[in-house]
Amino acid sequence: MQSENHLPQKLIVVSGPSGAGRSTAINILEDLGFEGIDNVPLSLITRLTGGEMPRPMAIGIDVRNRDFSANGVNDVLNQLRLRTEIDAQMLYLEANEDTLVRRYSETRRRHPLAPKEPAIQGIRREADLLTPIRNQAEFLLDTSELSPHDLKARLTDWFGHEGSALFGVTLQSFSYKRGLPKGIDMAFDCRFLKNPYWDASLRALTGEDARVGDYIETDARLAAFKAKVTDLIVMLLPAFREEGKSHLSIGFGCTGGQHRSVYVAEQVALALAQQGWQVSKRHRELDRHAVSLSGKTGS
């Protein structure tokens, strides 16, 4: 166990599609006390973080890195997360297609993956390449509607406490058929709840839809399950924070990752936020479906 005077040093790996604000985020983190380095070859990252780090570090990675590959990035992340002397986390910045196209148009820059084609072609190629990396992120931030001032405020909330991240919680829904998400600290099984999949009118919907929520709420076991899970998490969060962790990832699984796990994750996230905890949400299977649909969009 790390003593209170020797807590792991913070390392934030910053990634995301070109135009989503990665360079701006690194500059903001530098203002918050981090040592910022952008576009580092993957082979050098473990060397840069070797030995004692004098202050927290923010490292930028994107498709322009010399030896970039999704598997390579994930391998480096896994190596970093195994080291006890650093607390390695990923900040992933993203934006919707329309916003990215507009930003490229305003700057008149060419997309690195489509130097002789419309920017939208490179944007979609990059989204496919980065999906496995996005799935590793502890912190997800959509910058589509954020000004630079808004981005700075959000990053200051997360990482502005003497160069270290405030304690945050990520709640993630997933399908057991695809296995447990990498990097989660604990998981709760929602497969015992009444399944909206068997109602034809609800099958195509998700747990974010109020009609699906109303259906699941008819299960008499749900209220007690939500209350007990929330109470358990609230009891554990201060203990994990005292142990030096700055982030906890909690999974909620069901058969398909579309209905029950999504709804319960949303409900528990709301309860935690109401008690003042910094909460982010991810729905792994819904995100995969959205990326799949975007890849099939016509030109």
**Any idea what the CATH number is for the domain that residue 141 is in?**
3.40.50.300
Which of 166, 189, 224 terminates a domain? The answer is 166
- Whether residues 154 and 231 fall in one domain: no
- Whether residues 235 and 144 fall in one domain: no
Higher-confidence position of 53 and 71: 71
Per-residue CA distances from 144 to 12, 94, 188, 220 (Å): 21, 8, 32, 40
- Which structural domain, as residue segments, surrounds residue 50? 9-166
pLDDT (0 to 100) of residue 7: 67
Higher-confidence position of 141 and 182: 141
Token pair for residue 30?
């530098």
- Average confidence score pLDDT of the chain: 85
Cα 41 to chain centroid distance, Å, stands at: 22
Residues at the binding site are 16-23, 62-65
**Coil/strand/helix, residue 92:** strand
Give how many domains the chain has, as a whole number: 2
Mean pLDDT value of segment 266-293 = 81
| pLDDT tier, 160 (very low <50, low <70, confident <90, very high otherwise) | confident
Which of 111, 134, 166 terminates a domain? The answer is 166
Q: Residue 152 domain-assigned?
A: yes
- The alpha carbon torsion through 136, 142, 143, 146 (nearest 10 deg) reads -140
Residues at the binding site for ATP are 16-23
- Whether residues 160 and 218 fall in one domain: no
- Whether residues 136 and 214 fall in one domain: no
- Whether residues 230 and 213 fall in one domain: yes
- Whether residues 36 and 173 fall in one domain: no
- Whether residues 221 and 193 fall in one domain: yes
Q: Residue 4 above 50 pLDDT?
A: no
Q: Residue 297 above 80 pLDDT?
A: no
- Whether residues 238 and 227 fall in one domain: yes
Q: Residue 195 above 90 pLDDT?
A: yes
Residues at the binding site for GTP are 62-65
Phi, psi of 174, rounded to the nearest 5 degrees: -160, 165
Q: Residue 298 domain-assigned?
A: no
- Whether residues 146 and 190 fall in one domain: no
Against a cut of 0.85, is the pTM above it?
no
Q: Residue 299 domain-assigned?
A: no
Which residue, among 91, 279, 291, has the nearest Cα to 168 in the 3D structure?
A: 279
Mean pLDDT value of segment 197-222 = 96
Q: Residue 4 domain-assigned?
A: no
- Whether residues 151 and 35 fall in one domain: yes
- Whether residues 160 and 231 fall in one domain: no
Which of 146, 166, 186 terminates a domain? The answer is 166
- Whether residues 282 and 199 fall in one domain: yes
Mean pLDDT value of segment 192-206 = 96
Higher-confidence position of 133 and 255: 255
Higher-confidence position of 108 and 197: 197
Q: Residue 2 domain-assigned?
A: no
Q: Residue 295 above 80 pLDDT?
A: no
Q: Residue 294 above 50 pLDDT?
A: no
Residue 295 to residue 75: CA distance in whole angstroms: 25
